[in-house]
Chains A and B, each alone.
Chain A
Amino acid sequence: MPEIKVTPLGAGQDVGRSCILVSIGGKNIMLDCGMHMGYNDDRRFPDFSYITQNGRLTDFLDCVIISHFHLDHCGALPYMSEMVGYDGPIYMTHPTKAICPILLEDFRKITVDKKGETNFFTSQMIKDCMKKVIPLNLHQTVQVDDELEIKAYYAGHVLGAAMVHIKVGSESVVYTGDYNMTPDRHLGAAWIDKCRPDILISESTYATTIRDSKRCRERDFLKKVHESIERGGKVLIPVFALGRAQELCILLETFWERMNLKAPIYFSTGLTEKANHYYKLFITWTNQKIRKTFVQRNMFEFKHIKAFDRSYADNPGPMVVFATPGMLHAGQSLQIFKKWAGNDKNMVIMPGYCVQGTIGHKILNGQRKLEMEGRSTLDVKLQVEYMSFSAHADAKGIMQLIRMAEPRNMLLVHGEAAKMEFLKGKIEQEFSIDCYMPANGETVALTTNPSVPVDISLNLLKREMTLGGPLPDPKKPRTMHGTLIMKENSLKLVSSEQALKELGLNEHQLRFTCRVQLQDPHSDSDTLHRIYTHLKSVLKDYTIQHLPDGTVMVESIVIKVSSSAEDANAKVLLLSWSYQDEDLGSYLSSLLKKGLPT
């Protein structure tokens, strides 16, 4: 039976990284190649030994697909392609291709330069890896090879994030990556058509979460900023120049206007350069309505937000500054942080995850004394706020997605199966589909039931109908005989005569002959008659005829009787049958060998 195999790579219960192997129709695909941000040693890389014990992965994988630029989905990609070795195609959307190398390089710098690690990929490796990337457009079917095709769908979540549909023949899998089902401010909601994949693969954590609204997260952000400003404090917001930063800027600008606030808002120059570049990428990725919002509120036409100059950091009074880089690991945001950290009226708002080794990571872990260069210590007195704005689906969202795609089976990764019985039951009940939850390192093999369309010739159909019996019923399959012709991509079922004709072959008949010796003193014709009577009583369902030419016929089998030349009391029965009646013929010869009843 055809099978699709899915294996989430990783060990034990860890949920920090995504890397899933799918085997479908003889093709092997790697979905995402994430780094586990919690480990410092080799455990942060996925365990590729599942694919092969040693050596390069090129021969074992048909392609790699990356869903979006977050490090827990692409962080191990250069390691995989350049250190383990993979030269095949790597697919990702255009924005992901543009942004990945930047994040990977930042990450590499922090890990190698700040933490002094050695077993890590180099800048050159990142470049070499990206050369293998083939960018994807949304809703465009891409032929990886003759049999494997993939298509990207909009996932929301972050700029460039995609859900991917993988198809080989009539079997298919959809992998969601990270997605959200409620529209975000600058990103829409995920969307997919009723593609009915055999398996829909998603994250189990979504299904056990009920998300707090975006409105409340924004409320909290504005509240904290406002409180700091009101007490005369300064607010630092380290950002990476994408989507989220623009959104927060627009939010503050509108709030400032509404509340008639006077405190200055700045963003650092490093941001404006990057912003322009991503702004262009970003605009083609969104829909008309969102595009309109951003075109109207061009980043450089804010009334209340101005370009930052480093000298402003020393100005007295309240202010808000957006600065890069996002994890406070270097550059302008770190400089500003050092100046403002000592004052408890000030605040730093971290809008995203920070990698280990960065100042951002340390302060988010509650560290209040930091060791800086030259052995000096920095006392962290300002207020530290961690806010998560990332858009994720939740329990309701996952049900909506299942309704949209109508998969035949559901597969959830990164969950503990024992603790997910309710969830499994819920999906199974609501949609009458099976829900699988493989542990990391465990393979789920799903038997698929691909429908193979075959054209049937009208003659053959008519012939079958004349045989009688009940009308064809999808629930009651009926055996029939025909010849299957496979030509190019089509399959045809025809009668054997038609097949022979099409193939230009002559029909050959195969006949078997068998002699049975029987002790019988009667005359030939009497013996024949006794055979006829005997067979009629035994084979009630068959057509048995006693023909005037001195033969008995059972279906197509001919039985003749003649006297034995050697023995006057013996008869020789000659049985002859065509290949189609082989079974009956063999049966008759065995039966007659036993002799006739007296």
Chain B
Amino acid sequence: MMGETEAVEIDDILDDWFIESLKSYKDLHVYQLEHPTQIIEWTSGKTVCVAGYSSGKNEILELRLPLRLLADEKKGLCAERDFKVVHGGFSEGPVCCLRHIPGTRCAVTNDGLTSDLQLWDLGADDTDVIRKTGSLPGTSVSQAGSRITARLSSPPQVLHGAQSSGVQLTQLSTGQTLYRLEVDSTKPLSSLKFVSETAFLASCCDGTVYLADTRTSAPPQASPPPGECALWWTDASAASQCRVIMLSSSGQAVVSDLRNLGGALCQAQLDVQTSPRKPEDVTVAWAPALDGCFSVSGLSGLVQIYDTARWRAELQDASPLFQHAGHSVSSQHGDGSAPIFITTHVWHPERPRTLLSAASDGSVHVWDWVDPQTN
């Protein structure tokens, strides 16, 4: 007997979404990892890290993007569409957060259960092993995991914390604490992000946002939640006019200026179907190379891209500019199993419309979408 598994009929693949995708994506790649990942982190312009989050032993993999995607003019001559596993390692516990330290081959992870961090060497050309090199203790006795962020600095440093009272800047090589966020509240954090070399946003799950500076021990600027909702996510754009977007679990999105966090510039009600319960369910991210555009996953089973260009100060419904439905469409589950959900997504740092997204069934998609408005 050969190939017991069903060969997919051709008619099955020519479904509506597939036909639609010929026009709506410039490039589309679909991969199946052995185990689902909750993180996708750039480690260079061509490589990303993914890692498992099961309760036991997990793999951390560094993958090189398919050559065909990166080829540009010579694209047609390059048939290579696959990910290459360039480095791999094992983690004793789940990997819920992974951050690459810019300018190094070092990565920092957190298991989502404590605020301690693990340090890894991602490996050089002569090896394929990702090795654990040490750990850093966190401050808080929390049941949630730490948020981690880093920017280019010498010597390398990492900003981390699970709660607002536990945010610290640690020097990697010595473990020395260089800075602590001085706030009394112990609110769980949804994200940490640098907005300049020394200034950062510590965004809490309840919608409070602290803007602080690692050079000073003065108390940070605190901005209260923009609305009623209990759960909020935040992202700050790297663009020169620093915009901050805040998204609630009910789908309300508020855009403000970093210099005036409390004042909303514009807002909209997004097209939401799911009520996320955990902070890690949702990812919201500004597009690095598309002004005013941001992406959301975890609120609807799709990755949605919105353009804030025409948003107004009054709350109005907004429709996504583009939606990636690939994960739910191509997931191969039978009727009995739980619906899959998107665990995370990231934008390519330079290519304007290229994203990577991952789902709970282990799928990873790389897609370059076409702006429907240009057709």
Contacts and interface: CB of A to CB of B under 8 A. Distances in A.
B30 A215 contact: yes
B128 A191 contact: no
A274 B1 CA distance: 27
Interface string A490-534: 000000000000000000000000000000000000000000000
B59 interface: yes
A188 B18 contact: no
A550 interface: no
Given A211-B82, A386-B77, A388-B79, A183 B8 contact: yes
A384 B85 contact: no
Interface stretch (A81-89, A103-111, A414-422): A414-422
A251 interface: yes
Contact of A183 (B3, B10, B33, B126): B3
B28 A188 contact: no
B6 A191 contact: no
Contacts of B18: 215, 219
B10 A211 contact: no
Given A209-B83, A422-B130, A426-B59, A218 B13 contact: yes
Name the residue in B3, B63, B78 with the highest tally of chain A Cβ atoms < 10 Å from its Cβ.
Answer: B3
A425 B90 contact: yes
B34 interface: yes
Nearest to A210: B83
B338 interface: no
B3 A154 contact: yes
Contacts of A185: 7-8, 10
Given A255-B14, A422-B89, A422-B130, A217 B1 contact: no
Interface in B2-26: 2-11, 13-14, 18-19, 21-22
A431 B7 CA distance: 29
A188 B88 contact: no
Contact of B77 (A208, A210, A254, A384): A384
A115 interface: no
Contacts of A426: 59, 88, 90
Nearest to A257: B14
B76 interface: yes
Interface in A202-261: 207-213, 215-220, 222-223, 226, 250-251, 254-255, 258-259
A572 interface: no
A138 interface: yes
A385 interface: yes
A217 B126 CA distance: 32
Nearest to A395: B85
A537 to B, nearest CB: 61
B79 A254 contact: no
Given A185-B7, A189-B3, A219-B22, A212 B128 contact: no
Interface in A177-194: 182-191
Interface residues of B, number: 51
Given A259-B19, A366-B74, A396-B32, A138 B2 contact: yes
Contacts of A263: none
B52 to A, nearest CB: 12
B279 interface: no
A294 to B, nearest CB: 11
Contacts of A211: 31, 81-82
B253 to A, nearest CB: 31
B136 interface: no
B84 interface: yes
B100 interface: no
A287 B66 CA distance: 33
A290 B7 contact: yes
Contact of B10 (A156, A251, A259): A251
Contacts of A365: 77
Contacts of A423: 85, 88, 128
A394 interface: yes
Most central of A207, A215, A226, A384 by chain B CB within 10 Å: A215
A357 B7 CA distance: 37
A432 interface: no
Nearest to A399: B34
B19 A208 contact: no
A249 to B, nearest CB: 11
14 contacts: A183-B6, A189-B4, A209-B85, A215-B18, A215-B330, A226-B22, A258-B19, A365-B77, A418-B126, A421-B128, A422-B87, A423-B88, A429-B57, A429-B90
Interface of A: 138, 154, 156, 182-191, 207-213, 215-220, 222-223, 226, 250-251, 254-255, 258-259, 286-287, 289-290, 293, 364-366, 383-388, 394-396, 399, 418-423, 425-426, 429
Interface of B: 1-11, 13-14, 18-19, 21-22, 27-34, 57, 59, 63, 66, 74, 76-90, 126-130, 330
**What are the 8 closest A-B residue pairs judged by CB atoms, nearest first?**
A188-B3, A154-B2, A422-B88, A212-B81, A189-B3, A388-B79, A210-B83, A213-B30
Given A210-B63, A386-B79, 5 more contacts: A188-B4, A211-B82, A212-B31, A254-B11, A429-B57
